[in-house]
Structure 1
Amino acid sequence: MIQLHDKIFKPFISSGELDETVSNMVQEVTKDLAGEIPVFVAILNGSFMFASDFLKKYPSNCEISFLKLASYEGTSSTLKVKQLVGLNTSLKNRTVVVLEDIVDTGNTIVEIADLLANEGAKDIKIASLFYKPEVYSKDLTIDYIGMSIPNKFIVGYGLDYDELGRNLPEVYQFYKQTDK
């Protein structure tokens, strides 16, 4: 168990399970994009560990860019997405693979797909390490899913609770509120 601010989190996914999941996702993307030089777009801040591990394992030529959006405050989605830092790479007529840490409601990923389409990407694929099918309600296809998980708040491996926990090498799930 760990405590972050006023909440207790319990172990949920080990670093070994994460490594295996990322490896499997890389194999699938590599197979699908054989012969292409994709642009990976990592969504900050949450996907930084996932994107780093993914790219270290990716065996072919590729480019990476970063996009920072926000839709969370504390443990709740605000249902509004705001772009904080934009792309710095031309996507015109390129295959783009979005590297996202987690897809739950789908609001952020739909906003991202629209933004990338407006930048002229010829094909947009979504790769999400975590996916919450219970709350996803959009029509956009998530092309690569690392793990489907229940609709519980998680931290670690890039994901945070009010900026704490991103540095944890494994993932923890919300357990209970502290008495404080």
Structure 2
Amino acid sequence: MSKVSILDKTFEIYLSNTQIQERINQIGRAISDEFHGDELIIVGVLNGSFLFMADLVRRIELNFVCDFIKVSSYQGTESTGQVKSLLGLKESIEGKSVLIIEDIVDSGLSMEYLLKELSSHRPKRLAIATLLFKREAFRHKYAIDYVGFEIPNKFVVGYGLDYDGLGRNLPHIYQLTTP
């Protein structure tokens, strides 16, 4: 489907699943090389990262532990500007390398919050892998280690990303066409 409708919005295909999978293969190889020999914990940011994380971890050729954290700053198609931590880590990250897996980094507010929180647990290293990055919306100075795709500052849905809870199951990433 080149277009989909979700609730009151129409979206058109922006990135195909084939493009997504090719880029995930590249990121998986880079992570495997860079973290070789480290005690690695991969932390997925729920809910949006679950598909990206599932595909990515299958391409990382290392031993690692997976854990999850849930934060939220979105309501509808807009960031609320406030981060709520809803669910925390189960694994100790002290002295370990931590790779945070995120579906999208736009303003960077949620990730800044996560970096501060996780740093307080004294990891050896913190790194970030995001499927999508909106550089023009980004308002912070921290580095993002692995970026799948840099995209314009438009609302997207699919492949784990949602619009009011819907659309996560779409295999492609779709961009909003109607406001």
**SS of the residue 2:135 aligns to:** coil
Q: Does 1:62 align with 2:67?
A: no
Q: What is aligned with 1:133?
A: 135
- After TM superposition, the structure 1 = structure 2 runs for residues 12-31 of structure 1, keeping only pairs within 5 Å, are 12-31=14-33
Q: Which residue identity is paired with 2:83?
A: V
Q: CA RMSD in A?
A: 0.8
Map of 1:34 onto structure 2 = 36
CA deviation map 1:36-80 (0-9, x unaligned): 131000000000000000111111101110000001000000111
Q: Contact conserved, 2:38 with 2:96, CA < 8 A, in 1?
A: no
Task: After TM superposition, give the deviation of residue 135 of structure 1 in Å.
Answer: 1.0
Q: 1:43 is matched with which residue?
A: 45
Distance 2:39 2:156 in 1: 33
Counterpart AA for 1:125: A
Q: State the alpha-carbon separation in 2 of the partners of residues 23 and 115 from structure 1.
A: 29
Q: Which 4+ residue blocks in structure 1 deviate beyond 2 angstroms?
A: none
Q: Which runs of 5+ in 1 are unaligned?
A: none
Measure the CA separation in 2 of the matches of 1:77 and 1:127. 20
Match of 1:53 in 2: 55
Matching residue's letter, 1:151: N
Report SS of the residue matched to 2:163. Answer: coil
How many pairs are equivalent? 177
Aligned residue identity for 1:54 = L
In structure 1, what is the Cα distance between the partners aligned to 2:96 and 2:26? 24
Determine the C-alpha separation between the residues in 1 that align with 2:82 and 2:30: 31
Identity %: 38
Q: Which residue of 1 aligns with 2:4?
A: 2
Distance 2:52 2:13 in 1: 18
1:116 aligned residue: 118
- Matches of 1:58 and 1:29, distance apart in 2: 7
Matched residue SS, 2:63: coil
Shift of 1:35: 1.1
Partner of 2:77: 75
TM-fit CA distance, 1:165: 0.3
Contact 2:155-2:176 at 8 Å conserved across structures: yes
1:32 maps to amino acid: E
Please give the alpha-carbon distance, in whole angstroms, between the structure 2 residues aligned to 1:64 and 1:79: 28
TM-score relative to the length of structure 2: 0.97
Superposed displacement of residue 157, structure 1: 0.4
SS of 1:176 mapped into structure 2:
coil
Structure 2 gaps of 5+ residues are none
In 1, are the aligned partners of 2:39 and 2:64 still within 8 Å (CA)? yes
Q: Matches of 1:9 and 1:68 in 2, distance apart?
A: 26
